[in-house]
Amino acid sequence: MSDNEQPSGEDKSHAPTPQKVRQSREKGDVPYSAEATSAATYVAFFISLIVVAGWMATNTYSTLLPFFTKPEEIGVLLFSPNNTKTLGDLIARASAPAMALLAILGLAALCSAFAQQAFAFALSKIKPKLSRISILGNAKQKYGTNGISEFVKRLAKLSAILAIVLFAVKDRFLQLPALVGLPAKSIIGFLHNEAIFFFGLITATAVVIAAVDMPWSYFQHRKRLMMTFQEVKKENKDIEGDPALKGARRQRAEAIAMNQMMVDVPKADIIIVNPTHYATALKWDREKGATPVCVAKGVDEIAARIRQIAAEHGVPIRRDAPTARSIFALVDIGKEIKREHYAAVAAAIHYADELRKKGRGETQP
């Protein structure tokens, strides 16, 4: 059993949540197809054979030719004081093509990993664990279901490649005796063409295997991340918070909003009530001539509190049950009143203005 597998008696029938996928990636558990990376390196090697293998062969041939044509002078070639070519120079020239090929293959493997988004650094992967040196744990991992499936998959891959290659090249081996006595360049050219054919078959086989393995690997990874109902429920609870705490936060938010609403009541121009159950506080910006805005509203205890604050600050109160109920139902706090409220609210504001004039001792014109 791998590190990522955990036994569970419940049926894991729920798809993994985004949080579960993210946590899995943080632990270094990402969907990855090793066969896709192998196929990418095969493709890179095959293209290299076609594009740059001629240069590689020519460079290696010209570098090592003196050792084949004059083997008796190897010591002179390498160690003569008059010879400027040292052993290190020859090794560097001869190995340059191989180094270039290795760089191409490494780049192909990196590109494959990036394409699969398989780079996920996790300290837990390199952190020492006693379970990794457990004989029983390693035995389960190697000989368990996953270990056997991996072994069967690799055996099938190797068998397929060997069968295809042997079937395709069995008759071509008969041409090898004809190479005896041919110039070295002719032999290299023949081997180059045969290598292209040989690795072309291997590459095609690897690509087919990768095309099957990639969706299978992603399916297996998703299956491993499947969740039980209890896991989904617990995760939702962790995300949204405990219901009691969530309710407490909501109450605090409502209290803050209520306090802010009550602060705006003294600034209102008129309070329209029904008269006991509903109360709405409206403010009108006379300078801008804008539509009146609802700055506070409430029922029962909140309505009583609005009326109390309005009375304490001298804000006029007008009884108009239909308008109070309509504004309470249709207009949110901070929003303008509806068109159907214009006439009633205009009458209420006029009523408030008359009360203020009387309070200041002004006479009706």
- The model's pLDDT over 131-176, given as tens digits with 9 standing for 90+, comes to 555 556 565 656 666 667 777 878 887 888 788 778 777 777 777 7
Q: Are residues 158 and 282 in the same domain?
A: no
Parallel, antiparallel, or unpaired for β 317-319 and 278-283?
unpaired
Q: Find which of 112-126, 144-158, 214-228 is predicted with most confidence, using mean pLDDT.
A: 214-228
Token pair, residue 110, equals 């990196």
Domain span including residue 301: 246-360
Q: Within 10 A of 189 (CB to CB), how many other CB atoms are there?
A: 14
The predicted model scores a pTM of: 0.50
**How much of the chain exceeds pLDDT 70, in percent?**
72
Beta strands per DSSP E along the chain: 270-273, 278-283, 293-299, 317-319
Q: Are residues 321 and 191 in the same domain?
A: no
Helix boundaries (H) for the chain: 18-26, 34-51, 53-69, 74-79, 87-115, 123-126, 135-143, 145-169, 184-225, 229-240, 243-264, 301-312, 321-330, 342-360
Q: Are residues 290 and 251 in the same domain?
A: yes
The whole-number average pLDDT for the span 281-292 is 84
pLDDT surpasses 60 at 122: no
Bridge partners, residue 130, by sequence: none
Q: Within 10 A of 206 (CB to CB), how many other CB atoms are there?
A: 24
CATH code for the domain of 356: 3.40.1690.10
**Contacts of residue 239, Cβ cutoff 8 Å, sequence gap at least 6:** 19
Domain assignment present for 13:
no
Domain boundary among 210, 238, 266: 238
As for how many domains the chain has, the answer is 2
Count of alpha carbons within 13 angstroms of residue 154, beta-carbon side: 8
Q: Are residues 281 and 175 in the same domain?
A: no
Domain boundary among 238, 255, 285: 238
Q: Are 333 and 297 in contact (CB under 8 A)?
A: yes
Q: Are residues 234 and 300 in the same domain?
A: no
Residue in 109, 209, 208, 116 with CA at minimum distance from that of residue 154: 209
Placement of tokens 């190479």 in the chain:
179
Domain assignment present for 202:
yes
- The model's pLDDT over 35-55, given as tens digits with 9 standing for 90+, comes to 888 888 989 888 888 877 667
Q: Are residues 152 and 271 in the same domain?
A: no
Residue in 280, 284, 322 with CA at minimum distance from that of residue 297: 280
Q: Are residues 205 and 256 in the same domain?
A: no
Domain boundary among 184, 204, 238: 238
